Amino acid sequence: MDKLLVSPSPHLHTKTSTKSLMRDVVIALMPAVIVSFLFYGWSSMLLMAVSIASCLLVELFITRFLLKKPSTIADCSALVTGILLALNLPTATPWWVVFIGSVVAIGVAKMTFGGLGQNLFNPALVGRVFLLISFPTYMTNWTRPQGFIGGGLDALTGATPLGKVKELMSMDGATLTSIPEYMDLNYCDMLFYNIGGSAGEISAIALLLGFAYLLIRGVIKPHITLSIIMTVAVFSGIFWLIDPAQFTDPLFNILTGGLLLGAIFMATDYVTSPMSKTGGIVFGIGIGVITMLIRYFGAYPEGVSFAILIMNSVVPLLNKWFHTKKYGRA
Amino acid sequence: MMKTFSIGGIHPNDNKISKDCKIEVLPVPSKVFISVAQHLGAPATPVVKPGDQVKVGQVIAEPAGFISAYVHSSVSGTVKSVGPRQDLAGNNMTHIEIDVDGDEWVEGVDLTDTLVTAIPEDNKAILEKIKMCGVVGLGGATFPAHVKLCPPPGKVAECLILNGAECEPYLTSDNRIMLEKSKEIVVGAAIMKQVLGGCKTVIGIEENKPEAIKAMSAAVAELQKVGKSYEGISVMALKKKYPQGGEKQLIDAVMGRQVKSMGLPIDVGAVVQNVATSLAVYEAVQKNIPLITNVLTVTGNCLPMDKQHNYKFRIGMPLSYIAEYAGGVPEQAAKIISGGPMMGKAIANLDATTVKGSSSLLYLTAEQTVRGEESPCIRCGRCADACPMGLEPFLLQKYARHNMMDELEENAVQDCIECGCCLYSCPANIPLLDVIRIAKGDVIRIIRTRK
């Protein structure tokens, strides 16, 4: 004891670090990643590899060569963005499109704002929406699963259930009962696999497993996710009860598209979601309502990404309006 | 369901390694240095000069104001010097140096172990005795006990809460006195209860001390057979959560009431005293013993089981003397803390001496205590979830770093109790409390000046 350390209290510190939290998110994403590998095979593995590698490279390049600062890729946040971006893309997306998405996600949405913790919008979603607007053909080129399991179908391009519904319902006089893609859906199967869609949207169960892991490890709290899902259920439930021939049912809306992926992994992103519980619930309601407005009345078949990004922009306001409950100031 | 406080809190490993180590009495050293500032408030004024002969229990410094306390000699011998010396916080403070000679106590002190259960009737005399014996709160703040026991006019004490939570990890001295001095503590509680007008009394103990809960419950049951003074005293087991022993948190846990910002516990009818204070009150009132001893824990994960101790010490003992007696400072110790690991003070050396409120000598290794490198805030909100005052540390630290005093006050930085939950739980190692603590001081000064 030649030299004793002296510092202000507290003298103990939790073992949880930014890195360990990010690692937990990666672990929670594993079921969805594995399912996408199994169903889509090599194409989804390639997609994942390109997305992760380019996200890490872009962050490394910007920190080391443009900012001339120590690299920050060790905090694993770019890794999470890479995985999430891949899970949000169709598996047939060409590698260079994925790379552009990574540049936008990390370079524009994250590093321009000052890096980890400073970005206003969810980086992976900015990347995805940029690609959706810039390369609509690639981004709606849904390959039927042709992986190691899933029926060994030939590579066929087809629309997602949401896309099909949107496409056919836009015709005059159409009703949902005339759409076999909607009528024949078996929700029990959809829990396990959901044909057509982004790499991460196949299996609701895989995503829910990840959700359970995040909750058990205390990485996130359930209020945002539940608020989104319940809002979607209530909103679509009301419309469906009014006219089931025109409006898709609540379970369909929860299980299809990117709703669970978005509600569990994208909307709960620490940086781009509100700090207080009340703020989080309002944030979730906003996402749910905007998603359903786009799905029912918008031009796009799917609206989760847009809804989250729109609500991201409201977060500073929500943080200003809603604060924690203080002791003795009720 | 076991009760606890409603907002925030954390669950660090409690590490009560020394909980089964019986209290041992430390022998008197050859020299003590007794600080005149062992309490919250104005430092006491020395009333002895070099060359004076003093006995154990003799007043050597008198209170210098309403919020101040008597200081007594813990040894008998000759006053060698009265002058500045570094205290635990590293500040220069007047200490009275006494060369020890024998162990001769002042007249009228009852040093036997006989339990005195009959409580004097004159409340004024009791308060005077508590004051004359220099009793201060031993839960951490060392606020003069007699002041807390005299509610201001118009305020009524509805509940006396005895704080046996001992929520700081590692500390076990309260646990030990609750086991070994259970009845004395209950008598002390009954005395304070009587002074406060016979309010209900709750002894709050965290569930991680089941033996203490049992011992205290048994002591209460037994004493309730003795007389009416002991009616209305009960033991309440509390769910383990830090900082349960915080005054405001304990009131919330036990009474379900919250003290208003900048308010006092008595505003909601509560008076909180530590179990060790209760023991000191017993000794003062029933035994005429001034507060010159207390119990401290010597512990740390780097100490073997046989070097874990709970010592009864006398005030003014150099920490180096205690460390040596306990078997030396372990090699792996990178930080020595006086107090708990959450709110205690890291000390630069062992030259400082024990005070009334000393509670531990805790050795932490570098691996346990060195903070990781600060990284950007990821807005996870863990600090806000952990804050037992419901504050938003992430926001406060931002305002603090930009000296935004109005915003700091609006967001209640003055309510911070410096428990350290925010800094403990931050995954990005942001020095939240370090920054907030300074801002809090500034804002409180601004509020005071305005008044």
Residues A132-169 pLDDT 10s: 999 988 887 776 666 666 544 444 455 677 777 777 77
Pairing of strands B293-299, B360-365: parallel
Task: Select from B341, B384, B391 the Cβ nearest to the Cβ of A11.
Answer: B341
Residue A195: what pLDDT?
Answer: 60
Distance CA A85, CA A68 (A): 26
Beta partners for residue B345, in sequence order: B338
In angstroms, what is the C-alpha Rg of chain A?
Answer: 21
User: Domain with B130 in it: what CATH number?
Assistant: 3.40.50.11540
Residue A208: what pLDDT?
Answer: 94
CB contact A74 to B (< 8 Å): no
CB contact B377 to A (< 8 Å): yes
What digits encode the pLDDT tens for the residues A265-300?
999 999 999 999 999 999 999 999 999 999 999 888
What residue in B sits closest to A325 (Cα-Cα)?
B390
Q: What angle do CA B254, B257, B259 make, to 5 degrees?
A: 115
User: In this structure, are B135 and B277 located in the same domain?
Assistant: yes
Higher-confidence position of B312 and A197: B312
Residue B411: what pLDDT?
Answer: 94
Residues of A in contact with B377 (CB under 8 A): 117
Could you tell me if B387 and B396 are in contact, meaning their C-beta atoms sit under 8 angstroms apart? no
CB contact A129 to B (< 8 Å): no
User: In this structure, are B146 and B274 located in the same domain?
Assistant: yes
**Is residue B354 one of the residues assigned to a domain?**
no
Q: Which of B250, B268, B287 is the last residue of a domain?
A: B287
Residues of B in contact with A118 (CB under 8 A): 376
The 8-class DSSP code of residue B155 comes to -
Task: Select from A4, A75, A324 the Cβ nearest to the Cβ of B335.
Answer: A4
* Helix intervals (H) in A185-276: 187-192, 204-216, 223-242, 250-255, 259-261
CB contact B92 to A (< 8 Å): no
User: In this structure, are B282 and B406 located in the same domain?
Assistant: no
Residue A148: what pLDDT?
Answer: 64
Question: Which residue do the tokens 């803390």 mark?
Answer: B337
Give the gap in angstroms from C-alpha A15 to the nearest C-alpha of chain B. 8
AA letter at A227: S
**Is residue B221 one of the residues assigned to a domain?**
yes
How large is the average pLDDT for residues A4-28? 94
User: In this structure, are B393 and B275 located in the same domain?
Assistant: no
Residue A153: what pLDDT?
Answer: 44
Q: Which domain holds residue B411?
A: 382-450
B158 Cβ partners below 8 Å, 6+ apart? Answer: B199, B200, B255, B269, B270
Is pLDDT above 90 for A178?
Answer: no
CB contact B258 to A (< 8 Å): yes
**Is residue B246 one of the residues assigned to a domain?**
yes
CB contact A70 to B (< 8 Å): no
Give the gap in angstroms from C-alpha A118 to the nearest C-alpha of chain B. 8
Give the gap in angstroms from C-alpha B9 to the nearest C-alpha of chain A. 12
Residue A299: what pLDDT?
Answer: 84
Number of domains in chain B: 2
Query: What is this structure's pTM?
Result: 0.90
b/e code A143-175 from CB counts within 10 Å (16+ = b): bbbbbeebeeeeeeeebbbbbbbbebbeeeeee
User: In this structure, are B143 and B274 located in the same domain?
Assistant: yes
User: In this structure, are B394 and B250 located in the same domain?
Assistant: no
Report CB contact under 8 Å: A324, B252.
no
Task: Select from B329, B412, B424 the Cβ nearest to the Cβ of A329.
Answer: B412
What digits encode the pLDDT tens for the residues A106-129?
999 999 999 999 999 999 999 999
Give the gap in angstroms from C-alpha A4 to the nearest C-alpha of chain B. 5
Residue A152: what pLDDT?
Answer: 44
Structure tokens at A86: 């891949």
Higher-confidence position of A173 and A291: A291
Is pLDDT above 80 for A181?
Answer: no
**Is residue B422 one of the residues assigned to a domain?**
yes
Residue A92: what pLDDT?
Answer: 85
Residue A156: what pLDDT?
Answer: 45
Q: Which of B253, B271, B287 is the last residue of a domain?
A: B287
User: Chain B window 27-86: which residues touch A at a Cβ cutoff of 8 Å?
Assistant: none
**Is residue B345 one of the residues assigned to a domain?**
no
The 8-class DSSP code of residue B166 comes to -
Is pLDDT above 70 for A170?
Answer: yes
Report CB contact under 8 Å: A11, B392.
no
Distance CA A233, CA B310 (A): 60
What digits encode the pLDDT tens for the residues B275-286?
999 999 999 999
Task: Select from A9, A275, A326 the Cβ nearest to the Cβ of B344.
Answer: A9
Residue A144: what pLDDT?
Answer: 63
Residues of chain B with pLDDT under 50: none
**Is residue B344 one of the residues assigned to a domain?**
no
User: In this structure, are B280 and B403 located in the same domain?
Assistant: no
Report CB contact under 8 Å: B381, A13.
no
A179 band by pLDDT with thresholds 50, 70 and 90: confident
A196 band by pLDDT with thresholds 50, 70 and 90: low
Report CB contact under 8 Å: A9, B424.
no
Report CB contact under 8 Å: A116, B388.
no
Could you tell me if A12 and B337 are in contact, meaning their C-beta atoms sit under 8 angstroms apart? no
Q: Write the DSSP assignment of A168-193 as a string of letters.
A: HHTSTT--GGG-HHHHT--HHHHHH-
* DSSP 3-state of B89: coil
Could you tell me if B150 and B128 are in contact, meaning their C-beta atoms sit under 8 angstroms apart? no
Residue B175: what pLDDT?
Answer: 96
Task: Select from A5, A13, A327 the Cβ nearest to the Cβ of B334.
Answer: A5
Residue A143: what pLDDT?
Answer: 67
Count of residues for chain B? Answer: 451
Could you tell me if B205 and B164 are in contact, meaning their C-beta atoms sit under 8 angstroms apart? yes
User: pLDDT averaged over chain A?
Assistant: 88
